Amino acid sequence: MSAPKLVFSRRLRQTPFEKRAIEQGAKAFTVYNHMPLSSVYLTPEEDYAHLCEHVQAWDVACERQVEVVGKDALALVELVTPRDISKCAVGQCFYAPVCDENGGIVNDPIIIRLGEDRFWISIADSDVLLWMKGIAYGRGMDVSVFEPDVSPLAVQGPKSFDLMADLVGEHIRDIKFFWFIETQIAGTKVVLARSGWSGQGGFEIYLQDSSKGLDLWDAVWQAGEKYNIRAGCPNLIERLETGLLSYGSDMTLADNPLECGLGRFFKLGKPAEYMCREALDKVATEGVKKKMVHLKITGEKLTGPRSTWDVKNDQGEVVGILTSLAYSPKFDSNLSFATVDAAYGSFGQSLTVDIGGAESRAAVVCNLKWE
């Protein structure tokens, strides 16, 4: 099928940077948190190559924020994640899975601590606003939960540091990974975090007044011209190489963080109350039944699948599903994420992937570095 069009409407909320993204040639979009998110400018391959060498401005306003503020803010944030948020300093960001009482993943946001009793939950694609509001209401907690007027603009790529130093000052080079400062750009106040959805380095600029979106974009753009800036977006090739999971594609409410390899971001048993304590303790005791793996697939470049492909063992039995895939120029190979029965999740395990029709391909489980 030829790629269908996306119809815009008010329900797919306009971003403060959208006009510039379209002017710069956004050719294809997805929808994320009820907002458009550009997916391709030139081609995925050209966008990727440019990102790895230069610097890009990304309209990621769709990374919506859920603000949690008030006396019970910390207690509510602690309640929804197994990660120990009491260890997150003001000025710091924690990647932390949000899980329900069964350990199922509701979202995998970045939690930004703006104050002792004030957080932004910078979310992937599910309505964490409703989740947190519902729990707070049900518990009768003394906390306010709402979506503030905050829209991130990402500046990603190896030249992002020079660009941001020119724009804001040399002190931005001192911001540690997953920390932030509060500053002003283009006359509007922003939270400037060293973070972003690529492995190429960079920043996320949290705009706090959507009427200033084009001013912010233009300021970044102007500073970026000498660094060969282009508009860009989260890139499938790059995210596979870097090993970034996408909520909804690689993990859902049916998966728990221990199965998805997110256990390295927290230690079970933090002091605070959290709703998935018993469920994850049970998984840890019994051992995971399935496991997300990095799966390298032999042969020529593949694209797809629309939803999932079956992964099989050497008896031809289905032992898992492939959830994301891209051909990597760097590794000269098809890289994929798959969820497989735990028995087949060891590095070096040989598997087969049904790639549609009668075709199948040999594949091997790799480590996080695709080795």
Contact residues for its own copies, defined by CB under 8 A: 1, 3-14, 22, 26-31, 34, 39-40, 100-101, 106, 125-128, 130-140, 246-250, 275, 305-308, 323-324
User: CB of 28: closest distance to its own copies in angstroms?
Assistant: 4
User: CB of 13: closest distance to its own copies in angstroms?
Assistant: 7
Residue nearer to its own copies on the CB measure, 143 or 191: 143
Amino acid at 208: Q
DSSP line for 243-264: T---BTTTB-TTS-TTTTTGGG
Helix (H, G, I), strand (E, B) or coil at 208: coil
Q: How far apart are CA 262 and CA 269, in angstroms?
A: 15
Angle between helices 213-224 and 160-168 (to 10 degrees): 110
User: CB of 307: closest distance to its own copies in angstroms?
Assistant: 4
User: CB of 310: closest distance to its own copies in angstroms?
Assistant: 14
- H helices within 169-276, ranges in order? 213-224, 236-242
CB 106 within 8 A of CB 128: yes
User: CB of 34: closest distance to its own copies in angstroms?
Assistant: 6
DSSP line for 98-115: EE-TTS-EEE-PEEEEEE
Amino acid at 43: T
Residue nearer to its own copies on the CB measure, 39 or 195: 39
User: CB of 75: closest distance to its own copies in angstroms?
Assistant: 12
Q: How far apart are CA 205 and CA 189, in angstroms?
A: 10
Residue nearer to its own copies on the CB measure, 11 or 87: 11
Residue nearer to its own copies on the CB measure, 56 or 126: 126
Residue nearer to its own copies on the CB measure, 1 or 358: 1
Nearest residue to 227 (alpha-carbon basis) of 58, 59, 57, 55: 55
Residue nearer to its own copies on the CB measure, 4 or 316: 4
User: CB of 179: closest distance to its own copies in angstroms?
Assistant: 29
Look up residue 304 and give its two tokens.
Answer: 């797809």
Half-sphere exposure of 214 (CA within 13 A, CB side): 8
Residue nearer to its own copies on the CB measure, 24 or 160: 24
